[in-house]
Structure 1
Amino acid sequence: MKTFNIGELSEKSGVASHAIRFYERENLMPEPARTQSNYRRYPEDAIARLQFIIHAKQWGFTLDEIRELLMLQDANGDRAEAKRIAKKQLEKIRHQIQSLSRIEAVLSETLEECSGEGPMDGCPIVEAIAQRG
């Protein structure tokens, strides 16, 4: 089986070397084999694992949730647990969408109200941010 050093893995996966080492410390990546010179050697499947981590982060999963999903995958665990984690994430995303929709509406309204001229005192944009946070 082909193995890679950390630089090669970084290049093939698009994940920086320092991030790979961080994921190892966070137990998202298994401890790699070491050469006699103590250099890390990663198997080919490490590329797919890193890509999974990156995609899960893009979807908004926390490192703890990603770790849990990876542990389920490694142990061929219960799909119900994966579904529970994903359902919780979907609820968070829906809440974020609602929050962003409210912010979008207020910002749109204040942009209409603001003339874009004159002193800042009484600016509807600044007042809306101060009042609604």
Structure 2
Amino acid sequence: MKTFNIGELSEKSGMASHAIRFYEREKLMPEPARTESNYRRYPEDAIARLQFIIHAKQWGFTLDEIRELLMLQDANGDRAEAKRIAREQLEKIREQIRSLSRIETVLSKTLKECSGEGPMDGCPIVEAIGREK
């Protein structure tokens, strides 16, 4: 079985070495085998696992949620749990979209109202940001 040192794994996965070590400490990556000189040696499937972590982070999953999904995958767990986690993430994303849409509406309106000239006092952009909740 082919194995990689941390530098090779970093290059192949697109993740920095210090991030790989962080995910090991966070128990998202299994403890790698060690050489007699105590160097880490990673199996080929570590690349796919790191890419899963990268994608899950891009999708907005927290480290705890990623850990839970990986534990389910490792144990061939229940799909219902994965679906629950994904459903909760989708609701968070939808709320972020609603929030960003409100912000976009207010910002667009205040940009039209602001002349872009004169003193800051009474600037509709600054006032709108101060009111935003």
2:47 is matched with which residue? 47
1:5 is matched with which residue? 5
Q: Please give the secondary structure, in 1, of the residue aligned with 2:42.
A: strand
- The structural deviation recorded for 1:6 is 0.2
Q: Please give the secondary structure, in 2, of the residue aligned with 1:82.
A: helix
Give TM-score scaled by structure 2 length: 0.99
Identity of aligned pairs, percent? 89
Give TM-score scaled by structure 1 length: 0.99
1:118 is matched with which residue? 118
Structure 1: any 5+ residue segments left out of the alignment? none
Distance 1:12 1:53 in 2: 14
- The structural deviation recorded for 1:86 is 0.1
Distance 2:101 2:13 in 1: 35
Q: Please give the secondary structure, in 2, of the residue aligned with 1:108.
A: helix
2:70 is matched with which residue? 70
Flag as ranges the 4+ runs of structure 1 deviating above 2 A: none
Give aligned pairs, total: 133
Q: What are the Cα deviations for residues 30-78 of structure 1, in whole angstroms up to 9, with x where unaligned?
A: 0000000000000000000000000000000000000000000000000
Q: Which amino acid in 1 is paired with 2:106?
A: V
Structure 2: any 5+ residue segments left out of the alignment? none
1:94 is matched with which residue? 94
Distance 2:90 2:99 in 1: 14
CA RMSD of aligned residues (A): 0.5
1:60 aligns with 2:29: no
